[in-house]
Structures are given as structure tokens and as C-alpha cells.
Amino acid sequence: MERKDFLRGLGLVGLGALAIPVINSCNNDNDEGSSATTTDTSSTIGSTGTTGSCSVTSSETAGPFPTKTPTSLVTSNIVGDRTGVGFTINITIKNTNASCAALAGALVDIWHCDKDGYYSEYGGTSMQTIDFTAVHFLRGRQTTDTNGLVHFTSIFPGWYSGRATHIHVHIYNAAGTSLLVTQIAFPEGSGSAVALVNTSSANGYTKGMTGYNYNASDGVFSDSVANEMSTITGSVAAGFILTHTINVAG
């Protein structure tokens, strides 16, 4: 379901790697003890260690803000001029057509909103009033290594009305043929990274959790969250690491 549809439904149309430190944040002494460790179920759903079989990760909408020219954004550091809590994104791609072996040479595009819920490359419309059409923050492309792995350096995404926190992913084979468009879900709860970050006003996250749309009622994740759920570890002070496996028919 596209962002505009969510907003209409709410009557709101109008909007390996190490943990990296808080990026350009203010004093975060109050957050030194805040940490989260949550478990990823996506890499085991539909798979067995004895047969090496696995099922394709659920496909999802690219939403209204896909990257316009991903070939021009080949970079692992997608922070741009954005500020927020440090975030490392590690994604492994596996091939269901090869006994769930790692898929090397795949092109992986990701994009997500900033701490305030805004996307680059779009804006000046009823869907996103602030105009970010001339910038490309929080978007990037990487090619999987021999282990099927890509890394991105980013900031922890915020949220906007109608959606749970998420990352968009579009995967292509080495020849550029689209294999899957999907999204990555984030664990929730009082001790989760989502809750810790969004109550970290010292780092610029001012929305808190009031009005947040949880995965169970999210129009994208409500029927498929099990195989789109990531693992997130770390702390507000040191930054968080997301680890996730996506299965494609390569």
C-alpha cells in the first residue's frame, strides 16, 4: 500500500560492519545506558538447515518515493546532510534457486526516510510539503560480495503517519533484471531500538511514539512481518546495527 493511501485512510494526506556513533547529534549523556537487542526471524522463516531450501521473501510496494536514478547513487555511506542516531545496515541476499546459497553480484538499492519522516528526491506536494527534490540523502546502491552481503552507513530512520518504521529494498541480478521489491521491518516494544531512538529528543527525534503505527496494524507488514523482520542491536550512544536476510529467486 502506498504512503498516500495510508494518509488518506487516516485523513492526513499532506505527509562485517561496526556500530557507528551518533551522527552530528547533541549531548546524549542521558542515553548512555539505552541499548536494544532484538531477534531476526526472517532468515529462518521457510528454511531448514538440512535441506538448504528457503522461500522468497514477501514482495512489497516500492511506495511513492523510490530512487529515481539508482545507478547514480552507488555508495555505501548514504547519510548525506542528515543528522541522527548512527545506523549500520547489513543485508544478506540468498538465492532460492540455488539451495538458498548466497547470491554474489546482486545489485541492492535501499532508501528510507530521515528522522523527521521525510524522503529525498521528492517534495513540494500534498504528500510531502517540504521540497527535497534536489538532494539524494538516505539512498544508495551496493553490489553483494561473495557472501551475498552489502553494508550501508546511515542514520536511524524516523516514522510518519500511517507507517511503522521501515526500509525499502529493490534487488536486481548482475544483469540489472529486477528480482524483488520488498521492505524491512523493525522490532517494536518498550526496549526496542525504535522506542529508544524516538524518545531520544537530544538527538533530534522529537515525535516520540505518540501516534506511531505499529507493525500489527501497518498496511504493508500486518500480513507478512515474520519474514521481513530484522535484527537490531546496539545503543543510542554507540549507534545501532541492523542485520537482515532477504531471499530472492535469482
pLDDT score for 37: 57
Who contacts 89 (Cβ-Cβ below 8 Å, separation ≥6)?
A: 110, 151, 152, 153, 154, 167, 242, 244
pLDDT score for 53: 81
Report the relative pairing of strands 86-95 and 239-248 from DSSP bridges: parallel
Report the relative pairing of strands 86-95 and 149-155 from DSSP bridges: antiparallel
CB 14 within 8 A of CB 3: no
In 10 A of CB 94, how many CB atoms?
A: 24
pLDDT score for 27: 33
Tens of pLDDT along 207-224?
999 999 999 999 999 999
Q: pLDDT under 50 in the chain at which residues?
A: 1-22, 24-34, 39-51
Does the pTM surpass 0.85? The reply is: no
CATH numbers and ranges of domains, the chain: 70-248 (2.60.130.10)
Distance CA 186, CA 159 (A): 11
pLDDT score for 41: 39
CA 246 to chain centre: 12
